[in-house]
Amino acid sequence: MEASFWNDKRPPGVAADIDLSQFSSITEVFESSCAKYADTPAFTNMGVTLTYGELEQQSAAFASYLQNYTDLKPGDRIAIQMPNVLQFPIAVFGAMRAGLVVVNTNPLYTAREMRHQFTDSGARALVYMNLFGHLVQEVLPDTEIKYLFEARMGDMLPPVKGLLINAAVKHLKKMVPPYRLPQAIPFNKALARCRSMAPIPVTRTLDDLAVLQYTGGTTGVAKGAMLTHGNLVANMLQVYANLQQVGQDGQRLLPDGGEVIIAPLPLYHIFAFTVNCMCMMLAGHHNVLITNPRDIPGFIKELKKWQFSSIVGLNTLFVALMDHPEFDQLDFSKLKSTTSGGTALVKATAERWQGRTGSGIGEGYGLTECSPVVCSSPGDGLARLGTVGLPVPGTALKVIDENGVELPLGERGELCVKGPQVMKGYWQRAEATAEAMDAEGWFRTGDVAVIDEDGFVSIVDRIKDLVIVSGFNVYPNEIEDVVSAHPKVASAAVIGVPDERSGEAVKLFVVPSAADLTVEELKAYCRSNFTGYKVPKYYEIRDSLPMSPVGKILRRELRDQ
């Protein structure tokens, strides 16, 4: 379907397309937003708030340091490896203002994964949190990294409190294994050295590379998606266009300036990077960064401080929050939007959240290669549970069969995306790029989808996760969704395992929420809810399931095991 198919299907206030000529680069978006919202809070973390004006000053200092005290040139890569702390946006926007390409790096990476990403990207500088210094020391000799900038957890806090936090992290919590990197420059000292300096303006165009964002590597080694300034500016404008939706009362659902956005998803992950780090600048919103969302008591304590307008998360996070005894003490009176992304939203979770908070969860869909947002659910009661909503403005979608032929509405096939947010290609991997993208710019997602007559998109599963039982397609998401609604089930995962009779058989893994859950109980439940070929043949009750840092269940690891 061409992008125009959706023109009359979007809610009131949302434009059909975006105007990419408004900005020449991410830097221009950043500088204009910081001027417009100078006195508005931009980011809060650990009790400290940076306004947009302060963020501009701090990032200017880092950009000036890079330009005056290193030999880094525009286009060079700088890796940034930190959790959600104030130093993250300062480093990102400082690097971009110096014309560098940001390589977002997961702080939970092993030495092997770090080594691959640093060498593959050719990174020449690294900003890291001291918690990971021992790993940096281990991999450094194998990389081209020349400049190290070391951040510490308490560095952005008032001096005495900062010293106490840094001492506690190192000596009481024993979170900093020993290492020796005498060449590392303390990040806060680099900022202090160039505090009053303005960076030398660097011309970047929409075609220039802005970010190398590595995919999870589900099909072999992790690949760097080349996201240009144009890709990211387009996706910012697309998400921002959706924020213009007008409710039944004639008012915008999320007006510009000062709305409090809770940001628990890691900023190094492309979804939070684009939405919280980038798009919220356009709207002048206030991002509350959650450093460790797995610390649910700490997370609840932080939420109690705010009348928040929006929260972005995923299924496992919403479940964990609702299971906390103090969840109902939170103030949901200003909550206008809850967005789920990254993994399939379970129907039972969405219904529970709506009942407890009064706010529905709108599901979105995206991919690293698409900067990442492709679809999002409309607000004001227009979302449809079980779908990921409508494509963002200016985006065309189609569903194809295994021969590449476009299928009609309502048919299941591989989803393909075309739009200004689709990556330039994979870094130094022409063959992989050619496999994923055709000459017309269509990107093959690897996801099985259905587009209905109203334009709403449902993601049925991943092509490689499909289980084929005696020739019948079984979609793991469907089984996981139904099993997760069982009152004694906390989470579920489904994979296919080889079977002599049927080719493949369904295996179900379950983490119980009640100690007395039995396999017999699960079997009876599945038999009453699924047709014969979908009923799992094998069952395994576990204490936990392998998950990614953002809470995505890793079926691949279950298959490998």
Q: Express each pLDDT in 95-135 by its tens digit.
A: 999 999 999 998 988 888 899 999 999 999 999 999 999 99
- Tell me, what's the pLDDT at 468? 80
Give the count of beta carbons closer than 10 Å to the beta carbon of residue 146. Answer: 15
Residue 38 has pLDDT above 90, yes or no: yes
Averaged pLDDT, 360-389: 94
Q: Supply the DSSP string of 316-366, one letter for each residue.
A: HHHHHHHTSTTGGGS--TT--EEEE-SSPPPHHHHHHHHHHHS-PEEEEEE
pLDDT tens digit sequence for 134-156: 999 999 999 999 999 999 999 99
Going 454 to 457 to 463 to 465, the CA torsion angle's sign is negative
> Across all residues in the chain, what is the average pLDDT?
94
Q: Given 3-state DSSP classes, what are the helix, strand and coil percentages for the chain, each rounded to the nearest 5?
A: 35, 25, 40
Give the count of beta carbons closer than 10 Å to the beta carbon of residue 330. Answer: 18
Structural domain for 50, as ranges: 26-204
Looking at the fold, whether 489 and 526 belong to one and the same domain comes out as yes
* Within-domain flag for 351: yes
Question: What confidence tier does 216 reach under pLDDT thresholds 50, 70, 90?
Answer: low
Averaged pLDDT, 298-323: 94
Q: What's 200's DSSP letter?
A: P
What separation in angstroms does the CA of 390 have from each of 176, 343, 378?
A: 45, 17, 8
Contact criterion met (CB below 8 Å) for 31 and 56: yes
Looking at the fold, whether 519 and 455 belong to one and the same domain comes out as no
**In which element (H, E) is residue 315 found?**
helix 315-322
Contact criterion met (CB below 8 Å) for 429 and 436: no
pLDDT tens digit sequence for 495-534: 999 887 778 899 999 999 999 999 999 999 999 888 888 8
Q: Which residues pair with 503 in a beta bridge?
A: 499
Q: Which residues pair with 446 in a beta bridge?
A: none
Contact criterion met (CB below 8 Å) for 83 and 59: no
For residue 363, the Cα-to-chain-centroid distance in whole angstroms is 13
Tokens found for residue 473: 């397609």
Residue 197 has pLDDT above 80, yes or no: yes
- Tell me, what's the pLDDT at 501? 73
Number of domains in the chain: 3
Looking at the fold, whether 225 and 352 belong to one and the same domain comes out as yes
**In which element (H, E) is residue 133 found?**
helix 133-139
Pairing of strands 503-512, 538-541: parallel
Residue 550 has pLDDT above 80, yes or no: no
Contact criterion met (CB below 8 Å) for 517 and 541: yes
Contact criterion met (CB below 8 Å) for 40 and 287: no
Question: What confidence tier does 217 reach under pLDDT thresholds 50, 70, 90?
Answer: very low
Residue 53 has pLDDT above 80, yes or no: yes
Looking at the fold, whether 502 and 526 belong to one and the same domain comes out as yes
Higher pLDDT, 344 or 521: 521
Query: Is the previous residue joined to 372 through a cis bond, with omega within 30 degrees of 0?
Result: yes
Looking at the fold, whether 293 and 185 belong to one and the same domain comes out as no
Whole-model pTM?
0.88
* Within-domain flag for 543: yes
pLDDT tens digit sequence for 405-442: 999 999 999 999 999 999 999 999 999 999 999 999 99
Of 422, 437, 462, the position where a domain reaches its end is 462
* Within-domain flag for 11: yes
Residue 551: closest CA among 265, 132, 263: 265
Amino acid occupying residue 533: Y
Looking at the fold, whether 375 and 489 belong to one and the same domain comes out as no
Looking at the fold, whether 199 and 59 belong to one and the same domain comes out as yes
* Within-domain flag for 476: yes
Going 68 to 99 to 194 to 123, the CA torsion angle's sign is negative
CATH number of the domain that residue 414 is part of? 3.40.50.12780
Q: With H, G, I as helix, E, B as strand and everything else as coil, classify residue 114.
A: helix
Question: What confidence tier does 548 reach under pLDDT thresholds 50, 70, 90?
Answer: confident
Q: Report how far apart the first and last C-alpha atoms of the chain are (Å, whole number).
A: 40
Tell me the C-alpha distance between 70 and 249, whole Å. Answer: 54
Of 150, 175, 204, the position where a domain reaches its end is 204
**In which element (H, E) is residue 538 found?**
strand 538-541
- Tell me, what's the pLDDT at 139? 97
CATH number of the domain that residue 171 is part of? 3.40.50.980
* Within-domain flag for 74: yes
Looking at the fold, whether 267 and 294 belong to one and the same domain comes out as yes
Question: What confidence tier does 219 reach under pLDDT thresholds 50, 70, 90?
Answer: very low
Looking at the fold, whether 110 and 199 belong to one and the same domain comes out as yes
**In which element (H, E) is residue 299 found?**
helix 296-303
Contact criterion met (CB below 8 Å) for 120 and 224: yes
pLDDT tens digit sequence for 182-196: 999 999 999 999 999
Of 462, 495, 512, the position where a domain reaches its end is 462
Starting at the edge strand found earlier in the chain, the sheet holding 457-462 runs 396-400, 413-418, 443-451, 457-462
pLDDT tens digit sequence for 10-37: 999 999 999 999 999 999 999 999 999 9
Tell me the C-alpha distance between 531 and 511, whole Å. Answer: 23
* Within-domain flag for 215: no
Looking at the fold, whether 395 and 490 belong to one and the same domain comes out as no
* Within-domain flag for 480: yes
Give the count of beta carbons closer than 10 Å to the beta carbon of residue 238. Answer: 27
CATH number of the domain that residue 532 is part of? 3.30.300.30
Q: For residues 181, 183, 189 and 194, what is the CA-based torsion angle, rounded to 10 degrees?
A: -150
Contact criterion met (CB below 8 Å) for 558 and 544: no
Averaged pLDDT, 335-358: 89
Contact criterion met (CB below 8 Å) for 105 and 268: yes
Looking at the fold, whether 183 and 39 belong to one and the same domain comes out as yes
* Within-domain flag for 178: yes
Averaged pLDDT, 483-492: 94
**In which element (H, E) is residue 234 found?**
helix 229-242
Q: What's 174's DSSP letter?
A: -
Looking at the fold, whether 482 and 555 belong to one and the same domain comes out as yes
